[in-house]
Amino acid sequence: MSNTAVVHEDTPELGQELAEPPSLSAQADHPQDQELQSWRHLKNFLATHFPAASLKDWENWRWQLKNRITSARSMARILGLEFSPYVAAAGGLPAAVTPYYLWVASRSKAVQRCILPDIRETEIGPFERPDPLGEDVHSPVPGIVHRYPDRVLFLVTDFCSTYCRYCTRSRLVGKSGHHSDMRSWQVALDYIRQHRGVRDVLLSGGDPLTLPDMKIEWLLSQLRDIAHVEIVRIGTKVPAVLPQRVTPALTRMLRRYHPLLMSLHFAHPEEITPETSAACARLADAGIPLGSQTVLLAGVNDDVTTMKRLMHGLIRNRVRPYYLYQCDPIPGSAHFRTPVDTGLGIIKGLRGHTSGYCIPTYVIDAPGGGGKVPLQPDYVLGRDEQGVGLRNYEDRIFHYPDFGQEA
């Protein structure tokens, strides 16, 4: 993938294809006037920044990939921002964003924060490490991270359509600019074949859904042929940053490889557009259980109101809130990290105040490879020989009789 921004400078009239609103926007949840407003905004965005593009182009995921914006200067220009705060960004993570997600960002300061390189990425904190989760030392063969006994992480590509500035794998992603090939996957597949205890394989990267259908299908068919692999999961941010990728052909293929689950990465409620809703609907209709993964980010989603809006938006789209992660200490990420108390406060603000289905598990991925540790506000006050003291969501105190052993 080219590292050159391909933003067009001239602005001729928009083509005839853009006369009607996009069909993907026809979602019952979204009031018509909002859709119309959104459509007008998109039309202007396209006419100004991608004047040669047709609506057909816009809805084509390959066009979106080909036209990624890969320089901070171009991103800032399109967003109408001063360029100077971004010029010195020198972290190892490349910059890239799909035209679609830049359009989403053009309407959301919070989304902008997730993708724009920032000079603070050059400030390395004392506890920050390129590989904070110790994945490299738990990698027996290239592409495999084997940290838990019954499951492995299979890193199938280092490519993402859009790079998140807080990415845990900033040391890896976008470095080669190429997808891994089938030959390198064979080594990883052999490892899985040889380890009969592995019942769960999580395909990640990079973003596996940026691979062509044929390669994804090849991987899934290889994994399905391994008797002890019970489930396959895919971790992806595609529905948020490149929803056009979730084509009917892709979902028709995916549904042949059940049980297949997906973890969808979302950061902010303003990512949930009609296009994203349509992508989630296609995945859910293909019978794929969808869970969400969200990183707790300062200035993006670190308050109860925003997090509740995000979780409600996800569940409406049949995505079950799954994990809320404390931001991992990668180099130059301090401006994204909140105190742990912020995360606990958010969980406290959700529990009891909305459906249990809308509450993710707040976790810290223990530095060095200790795995996910769940955190809860202090609901258990203590215990004595009579039972357990409990605090409910309204801070009322209760006593539950528990004598510590079966009668």
Among 58, 61, 63, 163, binds ligand SF4 (CB under 6 A): 163
Q: Is 114 a catalytic residue?
A: no
Q: Is 365 a catalytic residue?
A: yes
Burial environment of residue 355 by CB neighbours within 10 A (0 to 12, 13 to 18, 19 or more): exposed
Contact predicate 371/148, CB 8 Å: yes
121 touches ligand SF4 (CB under 6 A):
no
Per-residue string for binding with ligand SF4, 281-320, x by CB under 6 A?
A: ----------------------------------------
Complex with ligand SF4: residue 25 or 244, whichever CB lies closer: 244
117 touches ligand SF4 (CB under 6 A):
no
Complex with ligand SF4: residue 169 or 215, whichever CB lies closer: 169
Complex with ligand SF4: residue 130 or 287, whichever CB lies closer: 130
Q: Is 120 a catalytic residue?
A: no
169 touches ligand SF4 (CB under 6 A):
yes
Instruction: Identify residues 193-222 at the interface with ligand SF4 (CB under 6 A).
Output: 205-207
Complex with ligand SF4: residue 55 or 114, whichever CB lies closer: 114
329 touches ligand SF4 (CB under 6 A):
no
Give me the sheet containing 144-148, strands edge to edge: 144-148, 151-155, 200-204, 231-236, 260-265, 290-296, 319-326, 361-366, 371-375
Length of the chain: 407
Pairing state between β 361-366 and 231-236 = unpaired
Instruction: Identify residues 246-285 at the interface with ligand SF4 (CB under 6 A).
Output: 265
In the set 43, 66, 120, 148, the catalytic residue is 148
Q: How far apart are the first and last CA of the chain?
A: 67
Residue whose token pair is 């891994």: 180
Q: Is 43 a catalytic residue?
A: no
Contact predicate 157/216, CB 8 Å: no
In the set 151, 245, 282, 308, the catalytic residue is 151
In the set 160, 280, 327, 358, the catalytic residue is 160
Cα–Cα dist 230/200, whole Å: 6
Cα–Cα dist 102/73, whole Å: 13
Q: Is 160 a catalytic residue?
A: yes
167 touches ligand SF4 (CB under 6 A):
yes
- Report in angstroms how near the CB of residue 18 gets to ligand SF4 at its nearest: 29
Beta strands in 223-336 (DSSP E): 231-236, 260-265, 290-296, 319-326
- Using the Cα atoms of residue 262, residue 266, residue 269 and residue 270 in order, give the sign of their dihedral: negative
Residue whose token pair is 């976008």: 174
Among 160, 203, 278, 359, binds ligand SF4 (CB under 6 A): 160
Q: Is 196 a catalytic residue?
A: no
Burial 56-91 (b: 16+ CB within 10 A, else e): ebbbbbebbbebbbbbbebbbbbbeeeeeebeebeb
Among 179, 237, 335, 337, binds ligand SF4 (CB under 6 A): 237
Complex with ligand SF4: residue 142 or 248, whichever CB lies closer: 142
Q: Phi and psi of 291, rounded to 5°?
A: -120, 160
For 271, the token pair is 């990512």
DSSP code for 391: E
**By CB under 6 A, which span of 12-20, 157-165, 283-291, 368-376 interacts with ligand SF4?**
157-165
Count residues binding ligand SF4 (CB under 6 A): 11
- Report in angstroms how near the CB of residue 104 gets to ligand SF4 at its nearest: 14
Q: Is 169 a catalytic residue?
A: yes
Q: Which residues are annotated as catalytic?
A: 147-148, 151, 160, 164, 167, 169, 328, 365, 372
Q: Which residues bind ligand SF4 (CB under 6 A)?
A: 160, 163-164, 167, 169, 173, 205-207, 237, 265
